[in-house]
Amino acid sequence: MYAQMVQTDATHVRKLDEMSPEERAFQERIDRGEKIEPKEWMPDAYRKTLIRQIGQHAHSEIVGQLPEGNWITRAPTLERKAILLAKVQDEAGHGLYLYCAAETLGVSRDELTELLHSGKMKYSSIFNYPTLTWADIGAVGWLVDGAAIMNQVPLQRTSYGPYARAMIRICKEESFHQRQGYDIMMKMAQGTPEQKAMAQDALNRFWGPALMMFGPSDKESVHSAQSMAWKIKINSNDELRQKFVDQTVPQAKYLGLTVPDETLRWNEEKGGHDFAEPDWSEFFEVLAGNGPCNRERLSARVKAWEDGAWFREGLVAHSEKVAARRAAPRAAAE
């Protein structure tokens, strides 16, 4: 997902009788469905895990501007250009909400940015794939935002108050993102033979990477189990992936496009589709920095940050000057 494979520092899920009284009271509040607020006591590992998860999510929103930004100047109509601008602007806003949520846990936006730029923190693997045609912009909205929604809707109920509230705001905007993507795909799929070919090609290239967004199976993962106990992860990766496939397959059919998976079929017994696992070796290569766009994406962000240093410093210097000027007459009067 936007936060894939978040470490919890846990070796096993702690049971109530292993916990200190504070920790136990904390876990019981979570079990009752109460929200944890910034000033309240929380276990260190909960705080650290949340910072990793929210930070990764925020970075994904920010880096996620780049593949779509790649087509803003080439959007084919004024309307499409306006819609795409609005969508990418939303993503920047999502980044902002999430950095603010992370700040309530005691980590600044600048610190998180530094961790992203030094490669110590990750963003979703999906944004390391290129957008090669206009149909890719459709596929990103339809599949990537679609997968994001799968994950984010349950996170509206996450245990950490500021994170849950950020998710509620974000989810309101995500359904528009997915719709505009599907709408682009619809036009392409019903269009000229070239457009239809672009649409199919986009689905072929984004299908596997979209499935990877949910992360590898975490049935056996201690980290996932601990995160679920803390209610900062609500569903398993496999559950969400299954839901995503079941939702997306009929949408592809409606578009007249073929999902690039020969093994895909409806399984009456489980009430869902059987489908092929994506290529997990590719996933780990992308995480290791070897995706098609890892270098471009990160260096674009680093360049934006470094080129903008004078701008940020200028604003700080100005506000210091203003504060000094305000203080000066007062000091003189005393």
Partner 1 sequence: MSAAQAPAPQQALHEALLRIGDSTLILGHRVSEWCGHSPVLEEDIALANVALDLIGQTQLWLGLAGEVEGAGRSADALAYRRDAAQFRNLLIAERPNGDFGMTLMRQYLFDAYHMLLLQRLTASSDPRVAAIAAKAAKEVAYHLERSADLVVRLGDGTEESRRRMQTALDELWSYTGEFFIADAIDEAMADAAIMPHPASLKDAWLAEVSATLSEATLKVPASTYAHKGGRRGVHSEHLGHLLANMQFLQRAYPTAVW
Stretch that binds partner 1, among 9-17, 33-41, 83-91, 160-168 (CB under 8 A): 83-91
Per CB under 8 A, does 108 bind partner 1?
A: no
- Structural contact between residues 123 and 52, judged by C-beta atoms closer than 8 angstroms: no
Per CB under 8 A, does 157 bind partner 1?
A: no
Per CB under 5 A, does 94 bind Fe ion?
A: yes
Residue 272's DSSP bridge partners are 267
Contact with partner 1 (CB under 8 A): which of 9, 28, 41, 82?
82
Q: Which does 25 bind (CB under 5 to 8 A by kind): partner 1, Fe ion, none?
A: none
Which residues, in sequence order, are CB contacts of 67 under 8 Å at separation 6+? 127, 129, 130, 131, 136, 140, 293, 297
Residue 72 Cβ vs Fe ion, minimum distance, rounded to whole Å: 15
Per CB under 5 A, does 241 bind Fe ion?
A: no
Which residues, in sequence order, are CB contacts of 164 under 8 Å at separation 6+? 35, 155, 156, 157, 158
Of 255, 143, 133, residue with least CA distance to 194: 133
Residue 239 Cβ vs partner 1, minimum distance, rounded to whole Å: 32
Q: Which is nearer to Fe ion, 174 or 261 (CB)?
A: 174
Q: Which is nearer to partner 1, 154 or 191 (CB)?
A: 191
The token pair at 121 is 């923190």
Residue written as token pair 């900062």: 232
Q: Which is nearer to Fe ion, 42 or 210 (CB)?
A: 210
Per CB under 8 A, does 187 bind partner 1?
A: yes
Contact with partner 1 (CB under 8 A): which of 80, 177, 205, 233?
80
36 DSSP assignment:
B
What share of residues in the chain are helix, strand, coil (percent, to 5)?
70, 0, 30
Per CB under 8 A, does 263 bind partner 1?
A: no
Q: Which is nearer to partner 1, 122 or 231 (CB)?
A: 122
123 — alpha (psi -120 to 50), left (phi > 0) or beta?
beta
Per CB under 8 A, does 88 bind partner 1?
A: yes
- Structural contact between residues 159 and 233, judged by C-beta atoms closer than 8 angstroms: no
265 φ/ψ angles, rounded to the nearest 5 degrees? -155, 155
Per CB under 5 A, does 57 bind Fe ion?
A: no
Site residues for partner 1 per CB under 8 A: 62, 65-66, 69, 72-82, 85-86, 88-89, 92-93, 95-96, 99, 109, 134, 184, 187, 191-192, 194-195, 300, 303-305, 307-319, 321
